[in-house]
Structure 1
Amino acid sequence: MTPEHALPEHGRPAADVLADLARLREADLPVRGGRVTAYVYDTGRAAVHDLAAAAQLEMLEVNCLDPTAFPSIVALERRVVAAVAGRLGGGPATPGIFTSGGTESIMLAVKSARDARPVDGRPQLVLPVTAHPAFHKAAHYLGLETVPVPVDPVTFRAGPEAVRAALTPRTALVVASAPSYPQGVVDPVPEIAAVAAEAGVPCHVDACVGGWVLPWLRETGRAVPPFDLSVPGVTSISCDLHKYGYAPKGASVVLYADEALRRHAYFASAEWPGYPVINATVQSSRSAGPLAAAWATLNAVGARGYRDLAATAMRCADALVAGVAGIPGLRVLGEPAVPLVAVASDDPALDVFVLADRARARGWFFQAQPSHRGVPASLHFTLTGVTDIDALLEALAGAAADARAAGPPDVPADLVDALATMDLDAVGDADFAALLAGVGVDPAGGGDPEMAVVNAILDALPPETREALLVRFLAALYSGAA
């Protein structure tokens, strides 16, 4: 370890440490201003962010491990859960759990369903191909088998009959999305939940991204399809407050239709001589800071604020949909019900992965989405209340013109074939990093990487090979000296 990376013998001045953090963040994407159309959610209201930070600091060292030691966490969680339930078809007594994010909420929903209704053999999770990978992760961790069902190639919504055909005696849970992240469309929740209920199977609605924007859009007069706990057959629903709730990461809630199902999410262990362990979440020790920050944000924004933010974001989404229609070669996938828009190309000369690189050169981040099971490759846009839609459309049109002039990425066919058959376990992290460098990607380079070739390679490979390559990329990214 080099001297500059060694732990100092004596504590460093706070100003020096913070200056180091600022330097490390220089290559990060900006978290304010709306030029990053994924990952971040910005109200544009500095006072809200400042209050959330202060609330998080106030509860930073409070440990959610033992609610009897820190009763404040019980009071705060009850308030947050009740606030969310009140907008998602429940009420003050609706059971729920505050979690660190959508993946943890989904993990608990899957665990609850698995444990509440044991089946003979390996349990199955029936889900649309557009469902979030967190369900695949939950199935992997919890020992379930995933059964993906196709979606309509035009609307990208799951079909109840396809769900019905996928059900077996081993089905533990059926999933619907409100909306699915890739295209921002809402699955027909009442129909899917009815199919699940008819078979006696729980149904979870993934409203992680839409749960805290759909209710407010409905209150502004926009048509919103039924999707929450008020729908017969829906047994649980997840909603992230660190998305359109604009709370700091990580803040999510999973709600249950009944108390018994929530109890199956809990974990208790007395198989040791130490203190009795009872966990409501996957984590044990965890800071109450995010819980306090979420509660503070909800109160600071208020109902009117959320209605205004939702309406503004949706107007931006509508404007993006209309604007894309005027850019040759581009089209919107489906009809977004929330401020999430997917843009694809119907012109072979206009590659969306190259477009994303050209947009980044213009100071914008458009998230690339590879093709999958008939769903074309696209760019994803999450719009918020601070999105400058005119500037975004100008950047999109300009980047599209640049991408058309540049042409599709040059991907050697033999490279794709080699990666598809390569024994990745035989390649060390350093050698894999060198392979990445050969296609122009430095895992630790930062800055504005050119990703079109990499995305095109991934797009040409089957999902299981993509997954293996992504694992190796992550390993290479975190390998080597600090």
Structure 2
Amino acid sequence: MTDVLALLREMQAGDLPVHGGRTLAYVYDSGLTEVDRIGREAVAAYAASNGLDPTSFPSLLAMENELVGFACDLLDAPPSAVGTVTSGGTESVLLAVQAARDGAPDVSSPNIVVPTTVHAAFHKAAHYFGVPVRAVPVDASFRADVAAMADAVDSSTVLVVGSAPSYAHGVVDDIPALAALAASRGIRCHVDACIGGWVLPYAARLGRSVPPWTFAVPGVTSVSVDTHKYGYAPKGTSLLLHRSSQLRRPQFFASADWPGYTMLNATMQSTKSGGPLAGAWAVMRHLGTSGYERLAAEVFEAVDRIVAGLPAGLTVVVPPDSTLVALACDASMDAFTVCDEMKLRGWYVQPQMSYAGAPPTIHLSVSAATLAHVDELRLSLAESVSAARRSRPVEVGQGVADFIAALDPSALSDDDFDGLLAASGLLTDPSAGLALPERMAPVNAMLDLASPALREALLIAFLDRLSRPARP
């Protein structure tokens, strides 16, 4: 009989490591084995519990209210504030947009105004809910251009958004000015603090300079904050907090017009495992304020040491306000090759494509667990830079570049996609299917030539090819 758990461990060996502080995207590691154990055991204990009906599982309701209460205190929320646990930052964003739309029923064609650095989840919300995004270019510091956003707001705008911080660059928008803009027009202001919300308050307590962004800012009506990031909880939980229950009410959904039970949902999910909520609550109770403050001190020490010890040829795009660092390369190398070289040395750092005239960058989401390995990280960066210089920047052949330039994103055919797969080395043997190459720099260099619309179409086609049934 097959040992399924052994098979799982064997399969997992090919994944990125989730512990050890060497994966600087996707996962957030406290470095504390006890935190990991408590989170796992709480998830397992509540895996079969159903969050659909809080009256049937009152312990889940108690944990949610306590977790929300902790966050309200952390984010300077007033006594009127309420909140909901969601499945992650994207669901929190979706619900913030949906609540803003449905909270303004008199607006026939609602829109939202955001900086171009806002998380892509807001574009997903626009796609799902038919609420157009008016994306406004940021200023030279990569922060929201408040005056330009004010020009974009009109009588149909239902939401203004700022980030604390933005993912790509790690800087906090001018939330007081954005909130004042929204309040002056009588509309909502959402702060997307999914990645910074559980660490920036502790940074302020540690004496670091943090721009104001919480509910202490007049005019902020909602905040999203993820507990599975710097709350160091198991995936996936997030919180969406509203300044009042009146602002939250449009988020709720009820339906009694069918012969079954009356459906009543606070989030987009109906049935949902109680495991992630229990895991987040357990980790929060275990760490508490003092534990989170200690972890914040460690992650910011790691950030400071990384930024101070960058090798020649790498610079920060902008000094980070939080735990996210964006690095730019000089002309002697390219970011994609540096990322490949780091992976060969056991580190995962995330490549970011060029955008609006800005070149590609290297993204680091630093965790507390990274602090113990900062010296090794700095050495690996220096070695990767040297290797990238020796190999010179990746060049895409003119024929491939011309082929990419001629593609129409709205009419991308299977033959077009197969041609690019063959050129990139992702489909060397059509009968064997897709195969990721060891080095992704040539693939990323080709994608970087594509317009955002074409890149989206290509990656959707790529995902479609990856996601096919594995039949016996």
TM-score bucket (shorter structure)? over 0.9
TM-score, with structure 2 as normaliser: 0.94
Residue number among 106, 117, 120 corresponding to 2:93 in the alignment: 106
Q: What is the CA deviation profile of residues 119-176 of structure 1, one whole-angstrom value per residue up to 9, with x for unaligned ones?
A: 54421111111100000001110111111111122x1111211110111111111100
Kindly state the Cα deviation for residue 17 of structure 1 after the two structures are TM-superposed. Answer: 0.4
Aligned ranges 1:399-478 → 2 under 5 Å = 399-422=384-407, 427-428=413-414, 432=417, 435-441=420-426, 444-445=434-435, 449-478=438-467
Residue number among 271, 277, 284 corresponding to 1:285 in the alignment: 271
Matched AA of 2:356: R
Work out whether residues 209 and 243 of structure 1, in 8 Å CA contact, stay in contact via their aligned partners in 2: yes
Matched AA of 2:404: L
How many percent of aligned residue pairs carry the same amino acid?
Answer: 47
Tell me what 1:88 maps to. 75
Tell me what 1:359 maps to. 342
- Residues in 2 aligned to 1:290 and 1:476: alpha-carbon distance in whole angstroms: 30
Task: Report the CA distance shift for 1:18/1:257 in structure 2 as closer, same or farther (over 3 A).
Answer: same
- Residues in 1 aligned to 2:320 and 2:28: alpha-carbon distance in whole angstroms: 18
Q: What is the CA deviation profile of residues 427-470 of structure 1, one whole-angstrom value per residue up to 9, with x for unaligned ones?
A: 339x8467424312368546x73111221122222111111111
| Stretches of 4+ aligned residues off by more than 4 angstroms | 423-426
Work out whether residues 432 and 476 of structure 1, in 8 Å CA contact, stay in contact via their aligned partners in 2: no
Task: Report the CA distance shift for 1:224/1:275 in structure 2 as closer, same or farther (over 3 A).
Answer: same
Residue number among 147, 172, 179 corresponding to 1:186 in the alignment: 172
- Residues in 2 aligned to 1:254 and 1:55: alpha-carbon distance in whole angstroms: 22
Task: Report the CA distance shift for 1:384/1:395 in structure 2 as closer, same or farther (over 3 A).
Answer: same
- Residues in 1 aligned to 2:406 and 2:306: alpha-carbon distance in whole angstroms: 41
Work out whether residues 183 and 340 of structure 1, in 8 Å CA contact, stay in contact via their aligned partners in 2: yes
Aligned ranges 1:239-250 → 2 under 5 Å = 239-250=225-236
Matched AA of 2:337: V
Work out whether residues 189 and 226 of structure 1, in 8 Å CA contact, stay in contact via their aligned partners in 2: yes
DSSP-derived class of the 2:251 partner: coil
Task: Report the CA distance shift for 1:173/1:421 in structure 2 as closer, same or farther (over 3 A).
Answer: same
Residue number among 42, 47, 51 corresponding to 1:55 in the alignment: 42
TM-score, with structure 1 as normaliser: 0.92
Tell me what 1:383 maps to. 366
Mark the runs of 5 or more structure 1 residues left unpaired by the alignment. 1-11
- Bigger shift: 59-68 or 240-249? 59-68
- Residues in 2 aligned to 1:407 and 1:43: alpha-carbon distance in whole angstroms: 36
Kindly state the Cα deviation for residue 426 of structure 1 after the two structures are TM-superposed. Answer: 5.8
- Give yes or no for the alignment of 1:132 onto 2:132: no
DSSP-derived class of the 1:184 partner: coil
Q: Count residues with an aligned counterpart.
A: 463
Kindly state the Cα deviation for residue 226 of structure 1 after the two structures are TM-superposed. Answer: 1.0
- Residues in 2 aligned to 1:338 and 1:181: alpha-carbon distance in whole angstroms: 10
- Residues in 2 aligned to 1:367 and 1:426: alpha-carbon distance in whole angstroms: 27
DSSP-derived class of the 1:272 partner: coil
Tell me what 1:165 maps to. 151
Computed over aligned residues only, the root mean square deviation of the Cα atoms, in angstroms, reads 1.8
Work out whether residues 86 and 92 of structure 1, in 8 Å CA contact, stay in contact via their aligned partners in 2: no
Work out whether residues 241 and 252 of structure 1, in 8 Å CA contact, stay in contact via their aligned partners in 2: yes
Tell me what 1:333 maps to. 317
- Bigger shift: 70-79 or 238-247? 70-79
Work out whether residues 106 and 138 of structure 1, in 8 Å CA contact, stay in contact via their aligned partners in 2: yes
Tell me what 2:326 maps to. 342
